[in-house]
Structure 1
């Protein structure tokens, strides 16, 4: 049986061999040389591969096929880079195929190299290769930044890295633009930039590097070598319908000795040029200097801006000049000038409806207003700096003059009113800082900041309104309110830093001086033309002084994965204020202790967990102690009847930062808790036409808790950048309204997904969304019962599709959908659409561009708002359909 079985297997093997046939061949050039490593395939009539081989070193190949395979009309294909493709049918009865390969030159212009985006991590520096993230349709470095994983660019131009605001934007290591960097991201061509560096734990002073801890993040644009050698720029000219214009001229030069970015703009298409002069960290810098400027007390309206991109509703006629020039001298001194100027004229028209919910009553306001504003801005800054390893020197002189003239016609609760608001801002400051390193490597710091600031305002209203409150029930024809708070501020500090100890130490002493003078006058024009003072209160003539002497110690320790820093400041403060008209003459002395603590644990080389704690014990300012009534706008009357406000609070925050640079994955998350108290509360008396707000002596506690997180990832398989952010917050506070103490609990939740991907080579799609859920609860005492539980739901989604039908031709269509729901009112829904067509003429170095905005011609926009016990409805006038044809000449 075993012999029989072996014999049967042999027969079957022979039969199988006879049932197959061998197809073989060779590949040679016309000169007879073999062609190795060619791709040889057999395909069926449907184009599917049924067999595959690569030619060997002698150019030979072979296949084993079933006997009946030839009748299936198989085709033999040969592919090899540098040779013409061969495609021939197999012939029945033919087993050998000797093929001559014909050489074919390679057209390099048709070769497309596809590779994964490149990113490099070295220590605390993360480098993005700009070219590997850029697309053909991109223009500025800001276009590329938006799709880099880990980066966020808001509509205002502010940049965040993994959830943290950047502190500086450098260009080849130089801070040309100061804190106003949005003009750079919108203007600098991405083709000039080789890579974007993320500087984590950034220390801007070279003399303090490795001597002081830092948790700041900065960006540095590394310019290509060839781009440093020549002056570049653009000239943009655009015109369209209805009566539209848009123009820009910019010049750019970035070399090691001289850098400049100069931009002149003008338009009436809704582009807000004031955004180019926005400083994103100005508040932080003023806080560090101890300088809190008083804001303007007067306004011409009560409605804010709609939750839309500004170009939707900004009816403008604007021009600006933005000059930024920097010179590096051979001796290490850097000179820099930043000159900003803007003139503008814009209009805003809206209707509003506001409800104030009380425990047993509801007060309503209606308003229709047309506002015309004419703001202007001039700001000049001169800086001289030397940033060396042995010392740092910096002197910045800043002079600014800006203002606004606004007129408006409004109807409030069926009363026709006209207003005129005039505001001027005069600002002068000089900051001098010198930081030398001693021979023992310890460091001294000398700092002096001097500032003068004033913002006089005048508000005129006609006819006379609210005569029962303002004019003892007698009709009158007009109101004139004037205010100003000229301010002198001075800060001088000196510090000594020990750098060679296990615990790095800095000891600092200093003084702060503040002089202010609040003057206000409220005049009522009677029917006979005489202007009389408001009888309900005298004018303000309040003089204010605040003087501080302080000393603090900062102790920093770093070992292994742990890093900690604690600051222990002790401040002696004297505040004096007086106003003879109110027999007000107060002097107070305080001893303030405001410790700060930061602990950081590096869980891996790239990830960290940080804990922050701060105790704030602060006194109020001049805005909380003036006694004379000030009409802030036609519906708000302000005054105070309390001692100087004292505030204290605890803030605790925990944050986790996760990143995998090589796989382009970035995750961040954090929680924060704040509890603060004050010895005053703002009490409001609301009637059908006016609100009177008085600061009263009453204990007031505020608490809040928030959590947030975000993830950003580049998906290599799809060539896409995807992101997701979410936040949740709850706050508890009190309001005193119409003699009722109203405790409120506000809860807000937001989720923001986003993705940008390229599909099918010529098509790309972007998506961003934001869903917001807001709830305001009026809590009865400490009970759980709720009154007037208000809920607001908003969804905002944007989709953009780009298509390149031809080389150097780009078409983009954008859609934005907004949906708002409030349970007791009708739902609101809008769909906006825009289109952009651009063609690049290479030989002329010119782009031709057609922009069509608001394709659906939506000319009115409605929205709801919810805050504590205040519900608002607004209806705004929008720009209609608009088409602009633009030529962009690359110089």
Structure 2
């Protein structure tokens, strides 16, 4: 492995250091006046391929860096109303000035053609028309075809394989990271172009001082004031009656913007995730995240197939959201944003699994029928000032959950009813401000979070549970025998308070920015749990301290750090060198347990990126992090976290410690001149733990999870590569991707301690074509090979393969008429066992072009496939599972734009 890393690093640095040359100078006219916006390109003689390019600034200055093995290259200069210049120069560093002759030309006819991809500095612009097909309706539909960009079903955008940090519309961040709604509902006809802002620093006062390695997306609309939106109303039949309603009006003005969104359906479309925060901005803006429950307890869950959600999701969802932004001052520096969303969702799920336990030589059946009920409300109020002379941002968030889960469970012949009630209340406030002070900047950040979770898990009858048990006097595990007809009840309550405060001062000189910082984090959690149950032999005693918790867990973390950043035309560097004083204490007066940890840690991290030859970016990153556990790993009593078994912590165990080291290298190439993008890289991580999770599993699959003090490691190494190109002549976008990941870890199961290794390989291919006026094609495919090995899964038993593809073909036989064909194929293989699952849909759409209204009739799951089958190999088991799917269904939908 070390040999492979060394070879990769040698190739990595050789690529961008070999034969780099820079040509710079100034372009003027015959009067000596600078010519701005002139293009300067470097080409190899006799070849119609641009190696590198540059644009003159307002002073007529240019700088072009290129790489070529030729002894001479052609330098070409072009500008409006000037005679083009071409000069052959030597392949060397040099300074060359040019004087251009004016050339006035009488133009009888002018035909303007917009370039599909243009670049200026760190901004790459895509003309949406160049990637549009007749069946596309929304922004997301078109963006999926742009080279270098990936779009998920919930609207998530990745550029060059990495998540974006901001999503703007006309330069404004209305959605604050929850941009999925706009991406999936903004009509394509309202958009002029999509801009990728590379190395985007969203805090304006930090631009040119603190660099960023992430990109942002800015959507430029055709009109400065735009009232638009998208709607759908559909009805159909399958079992039962089906509906689908989507109403998303939008307004984008110069002073204010708003989006209102209501979506409801019971036909398998997952719309509630559009409200998730997908882009988190900069850490200088404070802390933001997707608020979630502390889900300690759960019912037993049915398996989910590896399929598009629409194939299996049996839902009944109502999702309502509203987002509003307005400027509250004349300079348009201060913004007020108010966001709110409400979700009411009911999901049904069912699966049957045959499990073969290789270690114990047994097998058993499980069947789970679930009903999940989600009922949650979230509100957010944000005040922001983002200006060159100062920054302020305060975010207040409130969330309330009233969730409930149900399960009818059957395991090894025993049947039980399971119910979980889990209400949660949470409140967060994040404040960050940056104040200029002479030549320096002072930053204050404050974060406060309070959350109250209450969970009650009920299992009836209690004798469904057959959980392993060992008393202090026993030498082996037996099975807890619950009294027939009784009920088992696990209750849990946790109250959490977290605060974080910091202050820093930044000063810059010659591209360098130094930021010393001090801060203190404090958190306290209170956990109270209780288990009630009756056994036939009064063994174990559930009223004993072993099955109760009354724990207080406190963390205090003062820290001091210095950030060092550098930004120039070619280099981006940001790093942090923090020293942390970690102090934590776990106290359980109920069982007289008290343990603490006090430790000083140094956790540096660094990222450096070098841009060269106009189109290349090379980067290296690395860091160290420490995690000392939390209340979820510090309690001392047994908790029935699932009806499948107890989770037990040993009071004698120390506080968990995990030290992780990570590093990576990456090379990117993006050339808007020939529409070619690629990236290749390597990542590695090494995590060392002082505790190891162990399990005791009986022949029916019920278990007890324990933690023992034993140093263990988890390592992961991965290589990845992706290349994509758009062929304008054929209106085709194609990309290939490859990923190899090798992970190693240790585990202990039923007193057997063993190493496990997983080697996974994935090859991906994407293709879309709009060359023919009567047809368009979208095709995505992935092929995976995985090998898992330990003392139980060796040879063919540990080898598995899978193949997935999604094919969408649209035919346009007549104007305004579209026929669609959809094919999802999911194949899996383990040894000689194979499962092939194919799904087919057809659709007919009539477009009322004048009114921008579509009428669609769609038949889904034509073959009426009702179950999905798969086979999995785990560390010591083989599981063959059958999962319930949506039946065949027919939908008639009317789709329209609001304007």
Structure 1 position 282, deviation (Å): 6.1
Match of 1:660 in 2: 671
Structure 1 position 632, deviation (Å): 1.5
Structure 1 position 239, deviation (Å): 0.9
Structure 1 position 286, deviation (Å): 13
Q: How many residues align?
A: 768
Match of 1:708 in 2: 720
The answer on whether the counterparts of 1:592 and 1:618 sit within 8 Å (CA) in structure 2 is: no
The answer on whether the counterparts of 1:518 and 1:540 sit within 8 Å (CA) in structure 2 is: yes
Distance in 2 of aligned mates of 1:249 and 1:595: 48
Distance in 2 of aligned mates of 1:769 and 1:323: 36
Distance in 1 of aligned mates of 2:454 and 2:302: 22
Match of 1:10 in 2: none
Select the residue among 198, 202, 205 that pairs with 2:203. Answer: 205
Match of 2:233 in 1: 237
**Is residue 2:369 matched to residue 1:370?**
yes
Which has more radius of gyration?
Answer: 1
Distance in 2 of aligned mates of 1:491 and 1:485: 20
The answer on whether the counterparts of 1:357 and 1:788 sit within 8 Å (CA) in structure 2 is: no
Map 1:57-206 to 2 at 5 A.
118-206=116-204
Q: Secondary structure at the match of 1:142?
A: helix
Select the residue among 233, 237, 246 that pairs with 1:248. Answer: 246
**Is residue 2:710 matched to residue 1:698?**
yes
The answer on whether the counterparts of 2:400 and 2:425 sit within 8 Å (CA) in structure 1 is: yes
The answer on whether the counterparts of 2:203 and 2:282 sit within 8 Å (CA) in structure 1 is: no
**Is residue 2:602 matched to residue 1:593?**
yes
Residues 659 and 386 of structure 1, relative CA distance in 2, 3 Å threshold? same
Distance in 1 of aligned mates of 2:600 and 2:735: 47
Distance in 1 of aligned mates of 2:364 and 2:113: 61
Select the residue among 497, 500, 517 that pairs with 2:526. Answer: 517
Structure 1 position 375, deviation (Å): 0.8
Residues 478 and 284 of structure 1, relative CA distance in 2, 3 Å threshold? farther
Distance in 1 of aligned mates of 2:584 and 2:812: 66
Structure 1 position 536, deviation (Å): 8.3
| 1:541-563 deviation per Cα after TM superposition (whole angstroms, max 9, x unaligned) | 11010011101001123456344
Match of 2:353 in 1: 352
Residues 491 and 171 of structure 1, relative CA distance in 2, 3 Å threshold? same
**Is residue 2:341 matched to residue 1:340?**
yes
Q: Secondary structure at the match of 1:186?
A: helix
| Structure possessing the higher relative contact order (Cα contacts under 8 Å, 6 or more residues apart) | 2
Residues 363 and 616 of structure 1, relative CA distance in 2, 3 Å threshold? farther
Select the residue among 826, 843, 868 that pairs with 1:818. Answer: 826
The answer on whether the counterparts of 1:155 and 1:309 sit within 8 Å (CA) in structure 2 is: no
Distance in 1 of aligned mates of 2:622 and 2:719: 16
The answer on whether the counterparts of 1:684 and 1:737 sit within 8 Å (CA) in structure 2 is: yes
**Is residue 2:428 matched to residue 1:429?**
yes
| 1:554-595 deviation per Cα after TM superposition (whole angstroms, max 9, x unaligned) | 112345634433311001121011012222112221111101
Match of 1:651 in 2: 662
**Is residue 2:869 matched to residue 1:862?**
yes
**Is residue 2:854 matched to residue 1:842?**
no
Match of 1:792 in 2: 800
**Is residue 2:829 matched to residue 1:828?**
no
Map 1:298-447 to 2 at 5 A.
298-329=297-328, 330-331=330-331, 332-358=333-359, 361-440=360-439, 442-447=440-445
Distance in 2 of aligned mates of 1:790 and 1:395: 52
Residues 850 and 878 of structure 1, relative CA distance in 2, 3 Å threshold? same
Q: Secondary structure at the match of 1:210?
A: coil
The answer on whether the counterparts of 1:765 and 1:799 sit within 8 Å (CA) in structure 2 is: yes
Match of 2:16 in 1: none
Residues 733 and 469 of structure 1, relative CA distance in 2, 3 Å threshold? closer
Distance in 1 of aligned mates of 2:377 and 2:137: 29
Match of 1:877 in 2: 884
Match of 2:593 in 1: 584
Match of 1:609 in 2: 618
Map 1:720-735 to 2 at 5 A.
720-735=732-747
Select the residue among 746, 749, 762 that pairs with 2:774. Answer: 762
Structure 1 position 356, deviation (Å): 4.1
Q: Secondary structure at the match of 2:141?
A: helix
Q: Secondary structure at the match of 2:755?
A: strand
Residues 249 and 617 of structure 1, relative CA distance in 2, 3 Å threshold? closer
Structure 1 position 268, deviation (Å): 0.7
Cα RMSD, aligned residues only: 2.5
Match of 1:680 in 2: 691
**Is residue 2:576 matched to residue 1:567?**
yes
Q: Secondary structure at the match of 1:345?
A: strand
Structure 1 position 792, deviation (Å): 1.0
Distance in 2 of aligned mates of 1:528 and 1:567: 59
| 1:198-228 deviation per Cα after TM superposition (whole angstroms, max 9, x unaligned) | 0111011111111111111110101112xx4
Could you tell which deviates more after superposition, 517-526 or 660-669?
Answer: 517-526
Could you tell which deviates more after superposition, 840-849 or 827-836?
Answer: 840-849
Match of 1:505 in 2: 514
Residues 777 and 258 of structure 1, relative CA distance in 2, 3 Å threshold? same
Distance in 1 of aligned mates of 2:116 and 2:891: 37
Match of 1:24 in 2: none
| 1:455-505 deviation per Cα after TM superposition (whole angstroms, max 9, x unaligned) | 321111111134574785352422111122211010111110112355320
Match of 2:452 in 1: 454
The answer on whether the counterparts of 2:208 and 2:567 sit within 8 Å (CA) in structure 1 is: no
| 1:166-207 deviation per Cα after TM superposition (whole angstroms, max 9, x unaligned) | 111111111111222111111111111111110111011111
Q: Secondary structure at the match of 2:217?
A: strand
**TM-score, L = length of structure 1:** 0.83
Distance in 1 of aligned mates of 2:170 and 2:666: 31
Distance in 2 of aligned mates of 1:747 and 1:878: 30
**Is residue 2:632 matched to residue 1:623?**
yes
Distance in 1 of aligned mates of 2:579 and 2:894: 60
The answer on whether the counterparts of 1:125 and 1:200 sit within 8 Å (CA) in structure 2 is: yes
Structure 1 position 136, deviation (Å): 2.5
The answer on whether the counterparts of 1:300 and 1:633 sit within 8 Å (CA) in structure 2 is: yes
**TM-score, L = length of structure 2:** 0.82
Structure 1 position 362, deviation (Å): 3.6
Q: Secondary structure at the match of 1:175?
A: coil
Match of 2:90 in 1: none
Select the residue among 473, 478, 489 that pairs with 2:481. Answer: 473
Gaps of 5+ in 1: 1-112
The answer on whether the counterparts of 1:776 and 1:869 sit within 8 Å (CA) in structure 2 is: no
Q: Secondary structure at the match of 2:142?
A: helix
Distance in 1 of aligned mates of 2:203 and 2:809: 44
Structure 1 position 533, deviation (Å): 3.3
